[in-house]
Amino acid sequence: ILNVEQSPQSLHVQEGDSTNFTCSFPSSNFYALHWYRWETAKSPEALFVMTLNGDEKKKGRISATLNTKEGYSYLYIKGSQPEDSATYLCASGGSQGNLIFGKGTKLSVKP
């Protein structure tokens, strides 16, 4: 079974801090890397889907990079806000969208 690892497991930052987390995945038979944000009492929401080595994607203050050769992706949040508090999931997997998820990084942003 494909193994997707995320670090750190949890993170506490102050409002205004910038932060980043890591997702590592097997680099062989790579198809795509997904990032999701999962807020408490809501359903996971897609942030990015990346497929090409060197991909960089940005949505507002959140950005992500992808290195398929070495099997890692970084998610960056610039100037964290309390509303960024959530669990961030990454996933990779097969050609049919059958994704394997990491355990997530739980981010808490204090005002």
Partner 1 sequence: DGGITQSPKYLFRKEGQNVTLSCEQNLNHDAMYWYRQDPGQGLRLIYYSQIVNDFQKGDIAEGYSVSREKKESFPLTVTSAQKNPTAFYLCASSLRGSSSYNSPLHFGNGTRLTVT
Residues that bind partner 1 in the complex, under the rule CB under 8 A: 1, 4, 31-32, 34, 36, 42-46, 49, 51, 89, 91, 93-104
Nearer to partner 1, 20 or 87 (CB): 87
Beta strands at 10-14 and 62-67: parallel, antiparallel or unpaired:
unpaired
Nearer to partner 1, 4 or 77 (CB): 4
Distance CA 105, CA 103 (A): 7
Closest approach, Cβ 96 to partner 1, in A, equals 6
Distance CA 44, CA 31 (A): 21
Closest approach, Cβ 31 to partner 1, in A, equals 4
Chain-centroid distance, C-alpha 95: 19
Closest approach, Cβ 78 to partner 1, in A, equals 22
Name 71's bridge partners. Answer: none
Q: Indicate the helix (H) or strand (E) that contains 46.
A: strand 45-50
Nearer to partner 1, 13 or 49 (CB): 49
